């Protein structure tokens, strides 16, 4: 029974923290890494690639998903398709921008989840992370997310204690429907 738990949310909402903890607690779940054209952050499950490396891998068909956000390229390796074909549950730090592509590629195997937190929590986390200036953070928060366009996608509030959020994430994974056949 394969399924792709596609975790999305605004920058700073805590997706990496959730997935890092899930990976430690649940070795039976495959938490996929991403390829990104910037240096990896602390605790982030990704592989840094130069823009040229990324372009070459994309041209070779080594990504099953690829998107651009905030001037960076993000990709997900084709290995997750093998994992799904073998019947595994895969958890991915996806993107709202790439949701339509993911739905088209993975069909009924895709189980989306939107991680949310209020603006003040996001502000504190983004400031602590230190990747952006305070002005860039305020501009990001002013743009807001596009959560309202995501309709009835389940939401997980990660604005409080990580322990509570990880329990909610585990419960979501356990309750999520599995597809009867691989994608």
**Does the residue 145 lie in any domain?**
yes
* 33 touches 46 (CB < 8 A): yes
Q: How many domains does the chain have?
A: 1
Which band of pLDDT confidence, cut at 50, 70 and 90, is reported for residue 181?
Answer: very low
Tens digits of per-residue pLDDT, 16-69?
Answer: 899 999 999 999 999 999 999 987 665 667 899 999 999 999 999 999 999 998
**Does the residue 182 lie in any domain?**
no
> What's the burial of 152, exposed, middle or buried (CB within 10 Å: 0-12/13-18/19+)?
exposed
Residues 6+ apart with CB under 8 A from 170: 22, 25, 26
**Does the residue 115 lie in any domain?**
yes
**Does the residue 181 lie in any domain?**
no
Listing DSSP states for 73-91 in one string gives EEEEETHHHHHHHTT-EEE
Q: pTM of the entire structure?
A: 0.86
């Amino acid at each position: 029974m394969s399924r792709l738990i596609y975790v999305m949310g605004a920058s700073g909402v805590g997706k990496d923290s959730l997935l890092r903890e899930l990976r430690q607690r649940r070795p039976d779940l495959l938490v996929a890494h991403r390829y990104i054209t910037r240096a990896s952050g602390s605790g982030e499950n990704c592989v840094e690639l130069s823009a040229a490396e990324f372009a070459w891998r994309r041209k070779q068909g080594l990504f099953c998903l690829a998107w651009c956000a905030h001037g960076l390229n993000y990709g997900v390796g084709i290995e997750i398709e093998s994992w799904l074909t073998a019947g595994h549950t895969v958890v991915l730090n996806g993107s709202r921008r790439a949701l339509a592509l993911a739905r088209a590629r993975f069909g009924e195997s895709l189980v989306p989840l939107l991680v949310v937190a209020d603006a003040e929590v996001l502000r504190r986390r983004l400031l602590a992370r230190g990747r952006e200036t305070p002005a860039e953070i305020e501009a990001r928060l002013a743009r807001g997310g596009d959560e309202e366009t995501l309709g009835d996608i389940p939401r997980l509030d990660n604005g409080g204690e990580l322990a509570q959020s990880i329990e909610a994430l585990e419960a979501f994974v356990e309750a999520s429907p599995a597809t009867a056949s691989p994608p």
